[in-house]
């Protein structure tokens, strides 16, 4: 690009219409920056969890307390919901609003079932005496970190389900196009990505 065209471009627009990093939209760049910051919140919680766990002598083996079958199913569910999300995006790219709606709805349903199972797991554990400050299986900090970490993630899933429902309405009205659906997808895949890490560090390790 010549200097003259660059100057002309700058003269016409005080603010460039396109983000230099994400030429499709500023919104996508905004979502990525938000997700980076959000990743730090989870990173802080996970690092704190690691330090507290290493400090404790009577940390229970999480699988013995939490079981693994239900959580494994929840993990598969989130992975599948990520798949339906990219299918929704593909459908939107083709301009197929019907398929977009169906796949977005399936994604939201996957998130809702995940939340239901998490509520079931939580109530089961609370009945067994695991609370924010108490743990009959060992260190009370296990209860604290477990509920804070999975709770913070569950909050993100809740927000994601609401976000997906809003996306369905906006996409059907034609107000949100491919780009907006992709941004919704970025958030949803991030929630899946975080669960992959939580599943490993809290349940398996």
Give contact residues for another protein (rule: CB under 8 A): 20-25, 29, 32-33, 35-37, 39-40, 43-44, 46-48, 50-55, 57, 63, 68, 72, 75-76, 79-80, 82-83, 85-87, 90, 93, 177-179, 182, 185-186, 189-190, 192-193, 196-197, 199-201, 204-205
Distances (CA, A) of 66 to 13, 49, 62, 141: 57, 17, 6, 15
| Cβ-based nearer residue to another protein, 86 or 112 | 86
For the CB of residue 182, give the shortest distance to another protein in the complex, in Å.
Answer: 8
Quick check: 168 and 84 in contact, CB under 8 A? Answer: no
| Cβ-based nearer residue to another protein, 68 or 105 | 68
| Separation of CA 63 from chain center | 23
| Cβ-based nearer residue to another protein, 95 or 129 | 95
For the CB of residue 33, give the shortest distance to another protein in the complex, in Å.
Answer: 6
CA–CA dist 160, 154 (Å, integer): 9
List the structure tokens of 169. 């309405």
| Cβ-based nearer residue to another protein, 98 or 174 | 174
Query: CB atoms < 10 A from the CB of 122, how many?
Result: 16
- CA nearest to 151, candidates 49, 35, 34: 49
CA–CA dist 47, 66 (Å, integer): 21
For the CB of residue 162, give the shortest distance to another protein in the complex, in Å.
Answer: 20
For the CB of residue 133, give the shortest distance to another protein in the complex, in Å.
Answer: 18
CA–CA dist 175, 201 (Å, integer): 40
CA–CA dist 143, 151 (Å, integer): 11
For the CB of residue 127, give the shortest distance to another protein in the complex, in Å.
Answer: 25
| Cβ-based nearer residue to another protein, 128 or 200 | 200
């Amino acid at each position: 690009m010549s200097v003259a065209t660059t100057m002309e471009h700058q003269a016409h627009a005080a603010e460039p219409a396109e983000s230099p990093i994400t030429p499709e939209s500023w919104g996508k760049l905004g979502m990525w920056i938000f997700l980076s910051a959000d990743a730090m919140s989870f990173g802080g919680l996970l690092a704190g969890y690691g330090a507290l766990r290493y400090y404790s002598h009577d940390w229970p083996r999480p699988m013995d307390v939490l079981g693994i079958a239900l959580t494994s199913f929840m993990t598969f569910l989130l992975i599948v919901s990520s798949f339906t999300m990219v299918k929704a995006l593909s459908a939107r790219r083709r301009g197929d609003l019907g398929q977009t709606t169906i796949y977005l709805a399936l994604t939201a349903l996957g998130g809702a079932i995940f939340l239901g199972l998490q509520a079931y797991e939580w109530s089961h554990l609370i009945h067994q005496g695991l609370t924010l400050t108490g743990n009959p299986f060992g260190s009370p900090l296990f209860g604290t970190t477990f509920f804070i970490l999975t709770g913070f993630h569950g909050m993100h899933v809740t927000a994601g389900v609401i976000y997906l429902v809003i996306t369905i309405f906006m996409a059907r009205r034609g107000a949100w196009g491919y780009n907006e659906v992709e941004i919704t997808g970025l958030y949803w895949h991030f929630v899946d990505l975080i669960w992959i890490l939580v599943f490993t560090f809290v349940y398996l390790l």
